[in-house]
Amino acid sequence: MNFHVLTLFPDMIIDGLNTSITGRAIKNGCLSVEAVNIRDYANNKHMKVDDYPYGGGAGLVMQAAPVCAAYDTLVQKIGKKPRVVYMTPQGYTFNQKMAQDFAKEDDLVILCGHYEGIDERALERIVTDYVSIGDYVLTGGELPAMVVIDTVSRLVPGVLHNSESAETESFENGLLEYPQYTRPEVFEGKKVPDVLLSGHHANVEKWRLEKSIERTKKYRPDLYEEYCRKQSGT
């Protein structure tokens, strides 16, 4: 899968993703991450890509021309119009279902805003998906873009060593993940649950499901209600 990030801070994207699981996947050829510097498409000697907003107000707005020029170059390179995700607090909240949908793409473009955002005319021309990672405001779209790339990457074949890892994590079945334990068997007087030491796989799976349901009900009642609706077929 190929990620293309339109950004004013390409080093932030590359440095952030060239480590851990995503870094290994990039080296192995399972993923590619390209950070396109929007400033390279500025049509002025000072590489200026922003200006004051019409109508007044604080801050600066990224201009449409360099954003669209960067996008047009990508389209020529890819050979088709790709899906373009704009990271914005005004978008739909990112979730696992959305990640699964994005993972079906061969090429995914992520547009990172900055300052007071991007000229609406550029967004209308190139954006297909408006996505937020939460109800708060960050300096720019680079950190949210890396969140999306990390999440989607885990669903790409070959990225995770254990093919079951992504399937058993939180949200994959509509529930939060069950508690995990490792050595030692006893830590500060607390023992690993006996069922996990039993070797009885059916009982282990039953325990894990029960704990997932219990944890979801406690911490995410909204997910628990949705899970119950699906189980009842309503």
Q: Which CATH class is domain 170-232?
A: mainly alpha
Q: Which amino acid, one-letter code, is at 133?
A: I
Q: What is the pLDDT, as a whole number, of residue 161?
A: 81
> Average pLDDT over the chain, rounded to whole?
94
Q: What is the dihedral of CA 94, 81, 25, 162, to 10 degrees?
A: 60
Residue 68 — very low, low, confident or very high, per pLDDT cuts 50/70/90? very high
Topology of domain 2-153 in CATH is: Alpha/beta knot (3.40.1280)
Q: What residue ranges do the domains of the chain occupy?
A: 2-153, 170-232
Question: In angstroms, what is the C-alpha Rg of the chain?
Answer: 22
Note the pLDDT of residue 15: 97
Strands 83-93 and 32-37: unpaired
How confident is the model at residue 170, as a pLDDT?
Answer: 67
Query: What is the per-residue pLDDT for 196?
Result: 97
Contact 87, 145 (CB under 8 A): yes
Give the integer Cα–Cα distance in Å for 118 and 134: 19
- Ranking 17-21, 29-33, 92-96, 112-116 by mean pLDDT, the lowest is 112-116
CA distance 3 to 107: 6
Q: Using the predicted structure, report yes or no on whether residue 90 has a pLDDT greater than 70.
A: yes
Of 152, 147, 21, nearest in space to 98 by CA: 152
66 Cβ contact partners less than 8 Å away, ≥ 6 residues apart:
38, 39, 41, 42, 43, 49
The whole-angstrom separation of Cα 216 and Cα 65 is: 46
**Cα–Cα distances in angstroms (integers) from residue 10 to residues 14, 129, 168, 184, in the given order:** 6, 21, 33, 43
pLDDT one-digit tens code per residue, 130-178: 999 999 999 999 999 999 999 999 999 999 987 546 666 667 788 999 9
Which pair of tokens denotes residue 13?
């994207």
Residue 204 has pLDDT above 90, yes or no: yes
SS3 for the chain is CEEEEEECCHHHHHHHHCCHHHHHHHHHCCCEEEEEEHHHHCCCCCCCCEECCCCCCCCCEECHHHHHHHHHHHHHHHCCCCEEEEEEEEEEECCHHHHHHHCCCCEEEEEECECCCECHHHHHHHCCEEEECCCCCCCECHHHHHHHHHHHHCCCCCCCCCCCHHHHCCCCCCCCCCCCCCCCCEECCEECCHHHHCCCHHHHHHHHHHHHHHHHHHHCHHHHHHHHHHHHCC
